[in-house]
Amino acid sequence: MNFIINYVKKYKFRAILAPLFKMLEAIFELLVPLVMAAIINKGIGNSDTHYILRMSGVLLFLAVVGLVFSITAQYFSAYVAVYSAAEIRRDLFEKILSLSQGMKEKVGEDVLTTRITSDINQIQNGINMVLRLFLRSPFIVAGATIMAFIVDVKSSLIFLAVVALLSIIVFLIMKYTLPRYKQIAAKLEKVLKTTSENLEGVRVLRAFSQTDAERNRFGQITSDLTTMQISTGKIAALLNPVTYVVVNLGTVGLIYLAARRVDAGFILRGDVVAIVNYMGQILIELIKLANLIVLLIKVFPSADRVKELMDMKSDEREHILDGQEAGNNEVSKALESKKSGRISLKNVSFSYNGTEDYDIENISLEIPAGSTIGIIGGTGSGKSTLLKLLNHTYDATRGSVEIDGINVKALSDKKLARLFGIVPQKASLFSGTIRTNLTMAENKVKNEDIKTALNISQAIDFVEAKDGGLDAIVTGRGNNFSGGQKQRLTIARALVNKPSILMMDDSTSALDLSTEAKLKKELAHLSWKPTIVIVSQRASSVKDADQILVLDDGKCVGLGSHDKLLESCETYQEIYYCQYPREEATLE
């Protein structure tokens, strides 16, 4: 709760005004039954038309002023709720962006999406309703009871019995539903996770005819959620009818008792109407209060989940920046001269789950600055994982990864971002323009440098053909570009900042052989001579590299030139001759 209060405090003036105006509205509402009683007792009882009209004017005045106060309170409460939720959402978004890749994978994309959307929406609704009702409803209930006692003490004793009974009913229902709402939230996240998995892997499911199995699994998960929601809803749904029954029975008892007191001459007929009106006010406000409690039951778990994510450690990696200033200064100088890029792997092993079952095992490798290395292997051999160790996306479980003799753990992410130009396995573009997508590393880039990168990546032709050229619109995820175009744009984005180390993770899979050959030729003649690391399942993509690392099940099974590996490495031979029949390979 303190987590939400800290955000609301930023708008404390409006947060105070909202319930204050609601209280003022409540005061005017409590005066209405007294005016009605006066009209009946004095105006109608004495056939005084002038009095009736005058008091009707008072009623109209109370209604108008109450409406103004209500609208003002609604505005302030909505303002505080919307802006507080916006700040929470902004801070949470910044937190998500600060999470390392490992932490994001550990938490899950579906969980992050739920936190920043539905959970914060629940918090926003909760803030709005609390400011509007949390003080007003109890005030109306207490005020109506007091006003009823002012009208007639004996008749109003029924109020105490009704309020006590309703409080017990609300408590019992809330006690049952509170833990179940938390379980419902957990089951809903499971549904979202399953939906996300199925949407992402829909092609795989169809390819292996698993759509029926996934449909059944999804049906079972949603059935569990539905069953719990229905059972909880049935109990929660008892609140309104039980409340109405209790209040109406109380009203019947109240009218019976008040009628007898009217006959005895203790109170007037208008007083009975006033007391009944106060009973109706209590009914309405108790229902509102009960619904507010139901909403808060949903808000508290949402707030806890958001707070848990905000308090989460951003990075599971190790950093040894302290005591490494000398090394960082050396790297900084190398960065400025663009001469850095020597990579050393020393007995590197890595496990995703932290066990002795390594996904990468005992890799030792020296990559000279300015050279090109190809990494090849079957699916799941650890190629992409090795790249993520090089740029410190993950920490090596054992061994060390060094750049120009400096452990990557001693380099900040900002320095690593300047060192590396990364072309991911899955081409990623963002909504905006071609220019904004290409200048993510450095906003102030000359058009000449952008066009040079586009020329190298073989993207200049289709970019210039687009309406607007560099300022052509890119839709979400680059859906208005083909797979090959997206890959070439991501390559250009990595080249714009002239990185010291260029990492290409199977980034030419959507290119035809002719375009790939032109790209390789351009990369071989880059003016700043970066170290190039190419991951691919195509032998054609890596065979011209200075050295080729062959991986199999996370282990190095071959290292050398193309010709050397064709002679000595069985895994490389298998990959190469699978793609090039021996006759064609001989011709080459």
Q: What is the pLDDT of residues 84-114, one digit of tens each?
A: 999 999 999 999 988 888 888 888 777 888 8
For residues 450 and 462, what is the distance between their CA atoms, to the nearest angstrom? 14
For residues 496 and 87, what is the distance between their CA atoms, to the nearest angstrom? 34
For residues 65 and 569, what is the distance between their CA atoms, to the nearest angstrom? 89
Using left for φ > 0, alpha for ψ between -120 and 50, and beta otherwise, residue 369 falls in beta
Identity of the residue numbered 436:
T
Strand partners, 474: 432
Better pLDDT: 55 or 297 = 55
For residues 457 and 421, what is the distance between their CA atoms, to the nearest angstrom? 13
Using the structure block, give the residue that is written with the tokens 């009208």.
Answer: 151
Half-sphere exposure of 147 (CA within 13 A, CB side): 28
Report if pTM > 0.85: no
What mean pLDDT do residues 532-557 have?
92
pLDDT digits (tens, 9 = 90+) for 377-406: 988 899 999 999 999 989 999 999 999 888
In the prediction, which pLDDT does 64 show? 92
CB distance 395 to 318 below 8 Å: yes
Helix (H, G, I), strand (E, B) or coil at 342: coil
Q: Is the pLDDT of residue 325 over 70?
A: no
Question: pLDDT over 70 for what percent of the chain?
Answer: 95
Domains of the chain: 2-310 (1.20.1560.10), 325-587 (3.40.50.300)
What mean pLDDT do residues 168-190 have?
80
Residue 267, C-beta contacts closer than 8 angstroms, at least 6 positions apart: 151, 152, 155, 258, 261
For residues 169 and 242, what is the distance between their CA atoms, to the nearest angstrom? 8
- Please give the full DSSP string across 382-404, using - where no structure is assigned: SHHHHHHHHTTSS--SEEEEEET
Q: Is the pLDDT of residue 5 over 80?
A: yes
Identify the weakest region by mean pLDDT among 56-65, 189-198, 539-548: 189-198
Confidence of residue 587 (pLDDT cuts 50, 70, 90): very low
Q: Is the pLDDT of residue 583 over 50?
A: no
Confidence of residue 331 (pLDDT cuts 50, 70, 90): low
Structure token pair of residue 102:
């490992």
pLDDT digits (tens, 9 = 90+) for 480-522: 999 899 999 999 999 998 999 999 998 888 888 889 889 999 9
Q: Is the pLDDT of residue 3 over 70?
A: yes
What mean pLDDT do residues 414-435 have?
89
